[in-house]
Amino acid sequence: MNSTHPTVRHRRHPTEFKRQLVALCQPGVSTSAVALAHGVNTNLLRRWIKQYAGELPSQAIAPSKLVAVQVDLPVETPMDDVIEISIQKNTTRINIRWPGTQAHACGQWLGEWIK
């Protein structure tokens, strides 16, 4: 009994192409996105990253560093000056809390929402 098996052919990629893709895989860049954009399998690209990691400039494979950032949050509206609206229909309930200092904007938004 003879059975014919299809010959599996693997694409061969030039070394320069592999190195270019590896160089694109910087910290914060999705390896999957790079692979998909260039028509290669993500696992194959990860293999190339391991293979060519020693050939990349040190900045290309250095881990990213955390940077401290200070964020000034807006001053909160006192809880005693709040417009509260509750709407219930059957089992659905909507609760809206709006700063009382912006009553006009609340009225405009509610008017548009009800239309």
Tell me the per-residue pLDDT of 66-92, one tens digit each, with 9 for 90 and over. 666 676 767 665 567 888 888 887 888
Given a cut of 60, whether residue 5 has pLDDT beyond it is: yes
Q: pTM here? A: 0.44
So what's the pLDDT on residue 60? 47
DSSP assignment letter at 102: G
Q: What is the mean pLDDT of the chain?
A: 79
Q: Which amino acid would we find at residue 114?
A: I
